[in-house]
Amino acid sequence: MSMDQRDEPARASGRPVDPRLLRYARTSRVFFVVIAAIGLGQTVVVVAFAWLLTRAIVGAVDGMPAAELSGVLAALGGVVAARAGLLWLREALSARAAARVRSELRTALTTAVGRLGPGWLATRNSAQLAVTAGRGLDALDAYFGRYLPQLVLTAIATPVLIAVIWWSDWVSGLTVLLTMPLIPLFMVLIGLATRAVQRAQWQTLRQLAARFADTVRGLSTLTVFGRQHRAATSIERVTETYRVETMRVLRVSFLSGFALEFLASISVAIVAVSIGFRLIDGSLGLAVGLFVLLLAPEAYLPLRQVGVQFHAAAEGVAATDDVFDVLDAARARPADASDRAAADVSPATQDAAPGGTVRATDLRVRRGDLLLEPVTFTAEPGTVTLLAGPSGSGKSSVFAALRGVADFEGELSVDGAPPRPASTWLAWAGQEPGLIAGTVAENVTLGSPADTVSSEHGRRLLRRAQKLAGAGDIDPGLELGVRGSGLSGGQAQRIAVARALYRHLSGAASVIALDEPSAALDAETEAELWQSLRRLADDGATVLLISHRASAGVIADAMVTVRAAQEVTA
């Protein structure tokens, strides 16, 4: 990636509206058009309100007939109602647009993370990403509901109102034109300070979320080593930093609000004094003077409100910067073979598992700055292929390449063709069980059609998969908590294996890939699992296995040795 590409997010974030918003959220394009139309209507209403109010006041002073005055007042009431209606319509559309853009960006963020893969995700903190996708995107309500509509209104209303004032009284128009730049100047200066402190607050919040998630995840280990109090102190320290950053944001917000109001008040006062002197010497009529005086605050109001609403939207802006960085990274990533294969899968063939012959020729998986040693093997239906080698040599990375989540060099094929998405042919269980909240049955049948799961055939497959995995004694209706809490380590691993076996038994996958499936099992349960895998292979399954247990070699038809990785040389 070039330096210009890396600097693009930074440059974009300094603009009033990040152009990447239009690229990644299509709803925002329609939103700007509609809001611009509403803003134009609001501007017309403001001018009409000032003109009708001027006519009513001047008419009352000059003795306007009651019938004519009543007509003016009725029109004035209609304009007030129209102004309220346009404001309500803007708020309603902004809220709806914010909800749709949040949904689009969350979907795009999830897709981008999936495309970037586990290798990229391993370098990020999942808690920080969760905060960005959750609270961060929720802050778009203020961004879309207040800041962007006000920004569009300012771009439309300010020049129109200045033109109307100039047309009515060029002296007042010139005064407004000369004093108006002071407000944007101070807005830019204050905005830079606001962005800096808001960004610091946002980063502290992400750090707090990450620290808390890491502490909860490792609390048992921390307790064993007597470091739980130190972890609590660390969280308390970050929390205090977040409090300080929040108070700093509030101080800047109040100061900027005061500065903008003060500048606008002084500017309006200058216009008012000028009009007053000219009314006294008779060089300006009452109608024109009053009309201009009513419009002058309205000319400054949009700019003032942009500055005020910028603070409310700053957290959403900071969050979208992080989201756009992830989307840009995914967009810059070239499509690999798995991406192209995924695009070629039609709905009619997506659930059809191929025969199951997996062939790797000089397969070299890239893992960060390491390029693994080449691996060559052929796994055919009816066989068990064991991947062996020292810890860290890259056996799991080979499985990652099979799943389409790791970059690699060399050749990899399934039934003689580039592998399609893993969901169409691979039943996989990794070292982490990866269980979710729900029943045991829901975990075992994850990803299977609901009608298949609820049928008698589906229930029989569920029982058989659990039995083959050594989990027949676990109640399928048992409710599990977050990350599968409620089971022991060995039970969770057996349920993960049962999930892979269920996928194969249901016909959705012809290849079974298990990564250290017996690491948490006792010798007896392990022997039962090996026998089950051998029977599945004899029935036609292609079984790929990673295990450090010597007993795994007993059922293997072929053993592939994976050598330790070497650093990539320039």
Mean pLDDT of all residues in the chain?
A: 78
Looking at residues 235-258, what average pLDDT do you find?
74
- Contacts of residue 184, Cβ cutoff 8 Å, sequence gap at least 6: 303
What span, in angstroms and rounded, lies between the C-alpha atoms of 107 and 16? 24
Q: What own/partner pairs with CB < 8 Å and gap ≥ 24 does 454-463 have?
A: 458/506, 461/502, 461/505, 461/506, 462/502
Task: Characterize 352-370 residue by residue with b for buried, 16 or more Cβ atoms within 10 angstroms of its Cβ, and e for exposed.
Answer: ebbebbbbbeebbbbbeeb
Q: In this predicted structure, what is the pLDDT of residue 6?
A: 38
- Dihedral sign of CA atoms 538, 508, 511, 463 in order: negative
Domains 3-332 and 343-567 share a fold: no
**Distance (Å, rounded) from C-alpha 506 to C-alpha 498?**
12
For the chain, the distance separating the N- and C-terminal CA atoms, rounded to the nearest angstrom, is 17
pLDDT band with cut points at 50, 70 and 90 for residue 82: very high
Average pLDDT over residues 547-561: 87
- List the beta bridge partners of residue 387: 546, 560
Q: Distances from the Cα of 198 to the Cαs of 38, 125, 134, 146, 321, in angstroms?
A: 30, 21, 17, 18, 12
Burial class (CB in 10 A: 0-12, 13-18, 19+), 59: middle
Please give the model's pTM, rounded to 2 decimal places: 0.56
Kindly report which listed range (68-77, 254-263, 473-482, 522-531) carries the lowest average pLDDT score.
254-263
Q: Hey, which residues does 567 pair with through a beta bridge?
A: 370
| Per-residue pLDDT at 450 | 73
Q: How far apart are CA 185 and CA 433, in angstroms?
A: 57
Backbone angles phi, psi at 566, to 5 degrees: -125, 155
In the chain, domain spans: 3-332, 343-567
Distance CA(455)–CA(458), nearest Å, equals: 5
Specify the CATH number of the domain 343-567: 3.40.50.300
CATH no. of 3-332: 1.20.1560.10
Question: Over 60: is that where the pLDDT of 36 sits?
Answer: yes
pLDDT class of 138 with cuts at 50, 70, 90: confident
Please state which of the ranges 128-142, 353-367, 441-455, 521-535 shows the lowest mean pLDDT: 128-142
Confidence tier at 343 by pLDDT (50, 70, 90): very low
Beta bridge partners of 305: none
